[in-house]
Structure 1
């Protein structure tokens, strides 16, 4: 009997199968990133969407992390992608998720709502030139780019800035979006580069406005939970068909990691399979240029790091297989580790996954104890019971035990993540979890004191 393979056939189901690398957190060491690109190419991805955030060597050094990649390293990333046949698609935020930029003193005047660094003001004349300058920084080092993602999603304060309400009342929400974004898309189109935008901000646009955006950019409809393409307003099938009818070139967006909890340690494989297969079935019914498998490392710049890339490698490989094959057969999930063994990554994947499972177990146990302690204390208050009882002492002692077990895990975590993550990200990842347990423990002590 012929041996079953994870990747079947010679003709992929989708033209473009892109994997998203989110550098807002869990940042890989440079050499490890190059190796990851080799793994993704082996998994039959043919594009990578790199969200640079503060890891790019921006001309304005205040936007760089202390461990940002160098100009030479960025060029080598581009060369590696070209060598592997991976289309490199850069991503620069242009509306929401602007915290890295707008938290800097010199750019706070561009905040749509003063004191909120999340959204740039679409009516400020300085907003578009700033984004264009960041685009130009990338194109100087990556001149062969053909596709460029401008984000454009989840603008939580959209229209709430100075003059926003008046503009919307007179011209509409779509016009407020378009008058800002079209300055950026025009900048790219002049370089013969096709822009991409997330589609959630267009969920309620009329046909006329959709036809205008069709000439400016491809839209990426996304949704990461369950049968999202049948329920999320911007990604339901009826809406996707509307986009096509208006001449829009369409992409889909599933998630292989970063969608199962804002501070989770590992993706939930069953949920990732359901999500990806729903997008595959949708792409069979509705023509799409490709699907981007997103892998979020933070839900936003200011939130905790989640799901280290190495712990999500099995999910990334299986997602690649589903996007390539167009289906999922019984046993495919088991073939992932065989595939990783074949390319020399199986042992490391098992080691990292086991470590993160242990870490996750400690934190989940901690949360259960915390909830029980708070619930018991609330019951004491309503019954006017004075002092501690056995249960409260037990919960406090058990919470302290979780802290000690987490601290004991630190040396193994540091040793395992050495040369996988940048030292800064590895330390921050573990410290975030230590502080979580410390803060909750201190709170529990306080409420019964």
Structure 2
């Protein structure tokens, strides 16, 4: 089955709802993605798109400029990478519905996640977003309209009334909105096929799906990021979608952002297994049904959650996954290809990467993040919680009263000071490396989540020591 997997489209998903890379970094990464086997990009801009006019409030302070978007798109074209834009149009609309200007369009008044499908104005909003994104994306063949995880649908006041009418169900409500959005894309952009995430459709009966008219309008993207995904179940799901009238389906795997909401390092093995399972599904499905696969790289679980693994940290995982798809499987040869393309000497699949260096763009961030994630908290905890001189003679009680035994101090002050200066140097290097790739807001957020809690504890103990020594003298 090598031929079939080698021929499928492979879109790399860039999730910009957190840690959106600078445009200059994307320009460096695109040729590498192409070399690794990507054939396109699935671009989820979220609040980093340069929305204008009435949609201006959606635009984050660090959003790309129209010129930057054009540059990235033309660089992608130059690399032969097909671009598919993604705009959420139903669920996961926090970046829109959190703003007071649009809060009246929520399905449930207090929750900013889902759009009210009954309002004319909701459709007008979605159309305006699609039009602004399409204006910068000429010649796209597909447009992803999102529609996953539409939580609380049917629980708004208007929905409750609508659902009281005979034959109305939450499923029909969901399908009617998807149909409205897809029809809007079809009428304005006849050459473009809408794609939708499939989770809201999975549990629906064949009859419901077939009668809705949705299968003629969209291609479902079946997503599953598990290492042990159920291959037979997926094959049956594809058959069901075919019977309902969907002409083609997409798969969606994950190379990062799927193993923990605040994960900072990547276990490549998990993601590799996920891709091997998808290859298995592809080999058991009719050749003409599969349009392609999107390798998702989530950067937050939703608009309000913390950052998970940063893109540069995940490049080795992405490389292994792309090469595995391209070659129809994983082997020692694939591993060597990846090591050569990334300039890495020892790729670790089943354990977290050691602090080995690579030559790919942003590889210094991987090295330093690995150091911080492995050793910062553990080394500070070791000193503060397991060093008997600190726990016995410089406890919170002592620190508060500036009490210190002069002899004991010599047993741990040098350790504390040298540990602090070591970590300050690492963090300075990491800060400098991150500045090349990310905006200040991302660096601040990552540091506050992953560095400062431990570093500040260490700084505090050193400061308290100095204070206590002064008090002694």
| TM-score when normalising by structure 2 | 0.79
Q: Deviations over 1:8-36 (max 9, x none)?
A: x9885242111100001121111111222
- Gaps of at least 5 residues in structure 1 are 1-8, 374-388, 442-449
- Secondary structure (helix, strand or coil) at the match of 1:237 reads helix
> Quick check: 1:254–1:293 contact (8 Å CA) kept in 2?
yes
Asked if structure 2 preserves the Cα contact closer than 8 Å seen for 1:310 and 1:349, the reply is yes
CA contact (8 A) 2:362 2:437 kept: no
Greater C-alpha Rg: 2
- The 1:10–1:85 alpha-carbon spacing in structure 2 relative to 1, beyond 3 Å, is farther
Q: CA-to-partner distance for each residue in 1:394-434, whole Å, 9 max, x for gaps?
A: 9x999xx8x96766643121111122122322222222334
Match of 2:208 in 1: 209
Contact persistence 1:63–1:101 (CA under 8 A) = yes
1:213 is displaced (CA, Å) by: 2.0
Q: Following the alignment from structure 2 to structure 1, what is the Cα–Cα distance between the partners of residues 448 and 393?
A: 29
Tell me what 2:220 maps to: 219
Residue 421 (structure 1) aligned to one of 433, 438, 463: 438
Matched with 2:183 is: 186
How do residues 58-69 of structure 1 correspond to structure 2 at under 5 angstroms?
58-59=51-52, 60-69=55-64
The aligned counterpart of 1:243 is 241
One of 75, 91, 98 as aligned partner of 1:96: 91
The answer to whether the 8 Å contact 1:259/1:267 transfers is: no
Alpha-carbon shift at residue 292 of structure 1 (Å)? 0.5
What CA distance in whole angstroms lies between the structure 2 residues aligned with 1:276 and 1:337?
Answer: 19
Contact 2:5 2:282 in 1 (8 A): no
Contact 1:280 1:326 in 2 (8 A): yes
Q: Distance in 1 between matches of 2:180 and 2:381?
A: 50
Q: How does 1:16-415 map to 2 (within 5 A)?
A: 16-59=9-52, 60-168=55-163, 170=166, 171-190=168-187, 191-192=189-190, 193-211=192-210, 212-230=213-231, 236-248=234-246, 249-287=248-286, 288-341=290-343, 346=359, 348=361, 350-362=363-375, 365=378, 409-415=426-432
Change (3 A) 1:152 1:347: closer
Query: How far does residue 93 in structure 1 lie from its aligned partner after superposition?
Result: 0.5
By how many angstroms is 1:276 displaced? 0.8
**Alignment TM-score, normalising by the size of structure 1:** 0.83
Structure 2 counterparts to residues 425-436 of structure 1, below 5 A: 425-434=442-451
Q: Deviations over 1:229-255 (max 9, x none)?
A: 448xxx633222211222222111100
Instruction: Report the Cα offset of residue 218 of structure 1.
Output: 0.3
Shift of 1:156: 1.6
The 1-side partners of 2:46 and 2:117 are apart by: 20
Q: Does structure 2 retain, via aligned residues, the 8 Å contact 1:98–1:118? A: yes
CA separation in 2, counterparts of 1:436 and 1:148?
41
Aligned-partner Cα distance in 1 for 2:303–2:22: 19
* Distance change >3 Å, CA 417–CA 124, structure 1 → 2: same
Deviations 1:57-113 (A, max 9, x none): 001221111121111111122212222111110000011111110111110001111
Judge conservation of contact 2:252–2:294 (CA < 8 Å) in 1.
yes
